[in-house]
Structure 1
Amino acid sequence: MTALADRRLRRGGIAGVLGAGCGAVAQFVLVMVVTRAFSPADAGAFFTVTAMALMAAGIAKLDAGNGLVFFIARAKTYDYLGISGYIRAALVPCVVASCLAGAVLYPRLGPLAAILPVMVVGDVLLAATRGFGAMRPTVLVDGLLVPFSQLALVTIAALAGAVAWLPVAWGAPYALVAVVARAELRGRVPRTAYLPGTARDLWRHTAPRSVAGAIQAVFQRLDIVVVALLGGPAQAAVYTAATRFKVVGQLANQGLAQAVQARLVSALADGERARARELYQTATIWLVLLTWPVWLAYAALAPWLLRLFGPTYGSAVPVALVLAGTMMVATACGMVDVVLTAAGHTGTSLLNLVAAVTCTVALDVALIPVHGAFGAVIGWSGGVLVKNLLPLWQLHHRYGLHPFGRHTLPALRGSAVAWTEERRERSDQSDEGRQRT
């Protein structure tokens, strides 16, 4: 990997993780605001509604965003004229699916159901910007604009005691995603005539991932809904508070994956397995270094942190410990599913997700009625381990890829050297500027 490519990967990955970290902090404070302002039953009802909305949006977007990243990243400059057709082919089915989901779920979601199409369109358009290698829109919007706008609006609703308006306050900022992403794409994608076969090519690749993406969306939020159904909304509030920090690992993984996904697709498409191995191992070591201190600190400080949500939430310390240990194992595996799908094994990824969800549901049904939130985190932990260890073995068996290897230490040394060179370059530029002055 060239020094320039390594620098771009590092910058994009760190920017993605920092943006994810800021978003995670905002979400943590949002949960604290809600749990402090309302009873566990009201807070649990709100968390359940937002989890259902995110599940529905995750299903309705049909994983079209990752399909766009795949085709845009593979395109050469002279192929860019057809990209607008791919974007239109991706958006139409997603808009239809999200409108249908909103209509079906309106009795449960209320006004939040009308925001589902906006959430889906914004996510797909934002993914298209990453296909061009642009991380700034994702970092600014997903990491800063949306979560802090949600925090501000939810805080206003909480201060007013308007529990009924919490879902609307939480969902309204998603309109900003579509606006910013559309503006970013306007200068990159000329609008051209639709090319025959575009939709067929896009959805032939994306269809297996659409099912997998729907299962992934369910997997990420199912635990909260199941706890609410089997244990009641108060237990759902306790579980949400104790596991809120899992979003740190999810978003950090997502931030690095967004930065490296287009390069992985390009490397594997060109048959450059060595470069793919280097990208995978570089991203994994950075993921471990950036998240393991968070999980260790959370495990140590859980008794104090959980009391920030209210006196009734201190009993969830065992939930936090299971969460921290599971996420350390998961991050050590690296972004295994991203590598697997970048290699074109979308069907295998789907089967892995089905196995993970099956494991989670089976454990939830057996444990939640007796153990409540602790039973839910055991079910979630089992699913996470299946979801990461299965593709890890598959990548080893098919490609000889490992999350750690001979590229791990060189990646750290190379990054340290690059940091030094960048600082030297900036210092030289400053000196030149002063001399000119």
Structure 2
Amino acid sequence: MIRSTLRSGGPVRTVLANCSARLLAILGLTLATVLVARIGGPAEVGEYALLRMLPGLVGVLCVLGLPGALAFFLAEPRRGLPRLWPTLMAIGGAGAILGTVLWVAASPVIAKVFFPDEPPWLIAAAGATVASQLVLTLGKTALQGLEDRRGGDLVIAAEELAFLPCFLVPLAAGIHGIAAVVVGLGLADLVVAVDAWRRVSRRLGWRRLGLAGGAFGWWGRPDRQLGRRVASYGLRGQVGGLITLLNLRLDVAILGAMAGPAVLGGYAVASKYAELLRLPGTALTWVFYPRLAKIDQAEAARVARRMVGPALIGIAAAAIPVALLASPVLRILYGASFGPAVTPARVLVAGMVLAGASGVASAYLYGRGTPGLNSLVLGVGLAITVVLDISLIPRFGALGAAVASTAAYLSTDALLIGLLLRLSRQPAHGRASVAIGEVTP
């Protein structure tokens, strides 16, 4: 049974395809970052990193964890729930509007803290990317839930690759600086989001991008009770998703606020380089979360336990050459001004060695309907991040941020792996009761 589950649909090939898509995305991001660095230097790279992170964070916060809930509720048999799509669209639309309004209202504070050299009206205009990033994120996670792996991989790659040509459009029109970054980000989001939702509608067998309504589109009367169920699951998962995002990006925000965009630019480059090692773990979560949501408890536990060892060994082995190549890669790509990013990059690489196995653990916890457990563990890492960032960044700058993040990554990943190994040894009825308690609102 385990072998059939692992071979069904070629999971290994699927994980490799997802990793390849994420590598293409990183290539696109790298090329865009190099261009931004060559034009505006480390300071503009820092602002670019913040604009890619902050609007998306605001949007996700305002949709009650919908991106994390989509894959669970689009898995069979929940996919056939009456008025599911109108309910999902109502949550997403309301969140997009709320997030944009909140961003615009807070733009004077955001500009003062993170973008002190930019006019507040320009930062307010960046609020448009709250909705555009959210629409793209929901389309991408809907493809995950519908198990359109090829479509999902294409969207993942295009999400970053599209920015470079879209960034060139405002440059050609004479728009420069952070304004060009804002225009490029919003335009890229919209182009890729339209394609993502076209793929979703085609997967569902709907025409006209699902705009027909009724049983053949997104729109209709939402179901309030179903909305509460989606929000209940989503909020438990959102805590974990938000904590994961904060663990990966809080150092960027704190460093940007304390040390300024120039120091942040070098650290952002180091962080993205080290996160190459997180790609396989992310791919394992992406691929196996919907699969584990469909199979019985005992088989899901066996499959997850079997994947932990290879994932752990593979990432640990890959960390060695990645750390050794940090200096030549960063200096050649970004220039001598980014030389201080090499040591933080190597420290962050050390923090990624458990990421593959923890990706398996997250897939297991989400797939079995227990996102709250995942969130609880990730909260430990967030606490470590906050305490160490505040303690180390004022004295050590980017290196202090790297040490803080590495400690948080290793602690969180180790706890997730331990939780998987413990829960997967429990009797099936014990695990089932936990899952039922988590899923039922």
TM-score (norm 1): 0.81
Residue aligning to 1:87: 88
**Relative to structure 1, is the Cα distance of residues 390 and 76 closer, same or farther in structure 2, using a 3 angstrom cutoff?**
closer
SS in 2 for 1:328: coil
Moved more, 162-171 or 97-106: 97-106
**Relative to structure 1, is the Cα distance of residues 206 and 288 closer, same or farther in structure 2, using a 3 angstrom cutoff?**
same
- Measured in 2, the distance between the counterparts of 1:364 and 1:275 equals 37
Instruction: Indicate yes or no: 2:352 matched with 1:327.
Output: yes
**Relative to structure 1, is the Cα distance of residues 332 and 396 closer, same or farther in structure 2, using a 3 angstrom cutoff?**
closer
**Relative to structure 1, is the Cα distance of residues 284 and 178 closer, same or farther in structure 2, using a 3 angstrom cutoff?**
farther
Residue aligning to 1:211: 239
Q: How many residues align?
A: 395
Q: CA deviation at 1:251?
A: 3.8
Determine which of 201, 214, 234 is the counterpart of 2:262: 234
Q: Is the 8 A contact 2:129 2:186 kept in 1?
A: yes
**Relative to structure 1, is the Cα distance of residues 90 and 152 closer, same or farther in structure 2, using a 3 angstrom cutoff?**
same
Q: Is the 8 A contact 2:288 2:363 kept in 1?
A: no
Same amino acid, percent of matched pairs: 21
- Measured in 1, the distance between the counterparts of 2:175 and 2:33 equals 15
User: How is 1:69-84 mapped onto 2 (pairs within 5 angstroms)?
Assistant: 69-75=71-77, 79=80, 82-84=83-85
Q: CA deviation at 1:174?
A: 0.9
- Measured in 1, the distance between the counterparts of 2:359 and 2:222 equals 38
Gaps of at least 5 residues in structure 1 are 402-437
Residue aligning to 1:263: 291
Q: Is the 8 A contact 2:289 2:366 kept in 1?
A: no
Determine which of 36, 40, 50 is the counterpart of 1:34: 36
Q: Is the 8 A contact 2:75 2:293 kept in 1?
A: yes
**Relative to structure 1, is the Cα distance of residues 88 and 39 closer, same or farther in structure 2, using a 3 angstrom cutoff?**
closer
Residue aligning to 2:161: 148
Q: Deviations over 1:144-190 (max 9, x none)?
A: x2211112233566686811312321332111233123222324163
Q: CA deviation at 1:21?
A: 0.9
SS in 1 for 2:129: helix
CA RMSD across the alignment: 2.7
Moved more, 55-64 or 275-284: 275-284
Whichever residue aligns with residue 142 of structure 1, its letter is: I
Q: Is the 8 A contact 2:281 2:357 kept in 1?
A: no
Determine which of 93, 111, 116 is the counterpart of 2:125: 111
- Measured in 2, the distance between the counterparts of 1:60 and 1:377 equals 29
Instruction: Indicate yes or no: 2:150 matched with 1:136.
Output: yes
Residue aligning to 1:100: 101
Residue aligning to 1:274: 299
- Measured in 1, the distance between the counterparts of 2:222 and 2:393 equals 51
- Measured in 1, the distance between the counterparts of 2:19 and 2:146 equals 19
Residue aligning to 2:119: none
**Relative to structure 1, is the Cα distance of residues 50 and 65 closer, same or farther in structure 2, using a 3 angstrom cutoff?**
closer
Q: Deviations over 1:358-391 (max 9, x none)?
A: 1111111111111111000011111112221122
Residue aligning to 2:201: 186
Gaps of at least 5 residues in structure 2 are 112-122, 207-215, 427-441
Whichever residue aligns with residue 139 of structure 1, its letter is: D
- Measured in 1, the distance between the counterparts of 2:37 and 2:224 equals 53
**Relative to structure 1, is the Cα distance of residues 356 and 76 closer, same or farther in structure 2, using a 3 angstrom cutoff?**
closer
- Measured in 1, the distance between the counterparts of 2:279 and 2:94 equals 26
**Relative to structure 1, is the Cα distance of residues 332 and 341 closer, same or farther in structure 2, using a 3 angstrom cutoff?**
closer
Residue aligning to 1:200: 228
- Measured in 2, the distance between the counterparts of 1:153 and 1:44 equals 19
- Measured in 2, the distance between the counterparts of 1:283 and 1:157 equals 46
